[in-house]
Chain A
């Protein structure tokens, strides 16, 4: 299920503006990698290049390469639609489709690309995905109710269920807890520990305690100033980043001296 990501010399542009410069990193399969850094340092932008979601914004482009198990996601014959089916994504704010029931939300990705699925297979997939997202027991009696009727934390877990229902290799999470209360945050963090048994997880977070709690490896991004590109400063095991980072800037950030 899980796959390894290799990023080499990646520059990300919005039009002529260089947003993120020279990122190279390796993300191990079945691990949790956290991106931390101050606002505007390009960590979310970089995350979105891992499933080509940044292309949604007109004028956005990259050079360099992002390889998933040796296959360049930016190769000429690679379809961004296929990339996004392999690399799923969970967003900052819970975004279940408001017009769909809980069940249909889970199946939304599966029913794309004209795929047909029998009712029994669909039932099974809904249950396994919702169980996978630790949501099954809370919603099993109201699968036909709208997803927007759930609490924020439940909605976010519904979005995770929807993302894993298409059986991706990698799940990207862009500050998945920033709109949630502490209890819901805890539920998501527990879930991330479960998910890493099957998936490669990459999570962007503003919360350093969260990075320390959930991740195996941590990457610190920083920006020299407004209008300058964001850079990857340092990447290492989470314990090392938070106890004895190699760079001064990292230490200042994780110890709360700035950011």
Chain B
């Protein structure tokens, strides 16, 4: 596996050259050294930006975190009936995660299907056309998606939601409410799914195309059909890449603002009534809808919710990395 590790018995300093030059000194002169600083600087800059954002969110969110309930419901602009910041952030986090999770659930299987079609089924010319169309989908501004989702899709798809709610009517202890306007979280999730589809497809396609021919031929030579070849060689090889792709999509779904804002009829509840209006809201759409009119402590409240979104995104990404790393031994990288 790794062969670059230095032997464990190497004493520190034993391998150092006798001169005072640094390790890279003998190969780095002129532009080589400058380039080293450019790359190091770029890396450091990225961390700096991330740290700056985190500091901003914490510093400006802190007043909201430490304010008393009276202040929050007064100047803080907390909706009536709420006593603490958590009463606001909790349902928003819930709504954000629910919308993003549903979008991902809808988009990932479709994206994998499209990516496999492009990489392993379509004739070459058709594949490039479809790939191009998918990339175009990524270029549509989210405002346009919002307009389309709210004006065109919602009225049409509400019939589907009504039908599903009717089918689910048999469930005991739970009544499925449904709105006739279609301005529900389910509709928002469908639009989010369309929006994250291109990125998941594009990344998955690249990963699938990189499946070693050696492994595909190994499967075929054993008498695999095309689907079995994909199952034994392509999908296991692409697994971690597809997870990364889904996480990129999840990042976009979590942070998407305009489309949700324009489609969803919001409410701040812990509610699984995804076909009803006035139930959930996402953090990004909430901030966007309130920010223009907020002042003083209300701004701090909004920034505190933004901090929550920041934390969610980080946790989700770390979780994804943990999933990818867990089966590293079998990843094919060694």
Contact = CB atoms under 8 A, between A and B. Distances in A.
Interface string B293-329: 0000000000000000000000000000000000101
Interface in A86-117: 88-89, 91, 93, 95-101, 108-109, 112-113
B261 to A, nearest CB: 42
B334 A148 contact: yes
Interface in A63-96: 81-82, 84-85, 88-89, 91, 93, 95-96
B224 A97 contact: no
B323 to A, nearest CB: 14
Nearest to B237: A99
B228 A95 contact: no
A241 interface: no
Contacts of A95: 212, 214-215, 217-218
Interface residues of A, number: 29
A99 B223 contact: no
A91 B222 contact: no
A51 interface: yes
A56 B223 contact: no
Nearest to B235: A99
A132 interface: no
Nearest to B214: A95
A56 B217 contact: yes
A212 B215 CA distance: 30
A146 interface: yes
A97 B223 contact: no
A93 B222 contact: no
Contacts of A163: 221-222
24 contacts: A53-B220, A56-B216, A81-B223, A81-B224, A84-B222, A84-B223, A85-B223, A88-B221, A91-B217, A95-B217, A97-B215, A97-B219, A97-B233, A98-B330, A98-B331, A99-B331, A108-B232, A109-B224, A112-B232, A113-B228, A149-B329, A159-B218, A162-B222, A163-B221
B225 interface: yes
B12 interface: no
A108 B222 contact: yes
B278 interface: no
Q: Is the interface on chain B under 10, 10 to 19, 20 to 34, or 35 or more residues?
A: 20 to 34
A149 B333 CA distance: 11
A56 B217 CA distance: 8
Contacts of B232: 97, 108, 112
Contacts, number: 86
Interface of A: 51, 53, 56, 81-82, 84-85, 88-89, 91, 93, 95-101, 108-109, 112-113, 146, 148-149, 159, 162-163, 166
Interface of B: 1, 212, 214-225, 228, 232-233, 236-237, 239, 327, 329-332, 334
Nearest to B238: A99
Contact of B221 (A53, A100, A101): A53
Contact of A88 (B215, B222, B233, B330): B222
A98 B225 contact: no
A161 to B, nearest CB: 12
A148 B328 CA distance: 12
A130 B195 CA distance: 49
B222 A98 contact: no
* A-B complex: 10 closest residue pairs judged by Cβ atoms: A98-B332, A85-B223, A109-B222, A99-B236, A89-B221, A95-B214, A84-B223, A95-B218, A99-B330, A112-B228
Nearest to B220: A56
B245 to A, nearest CB: 17
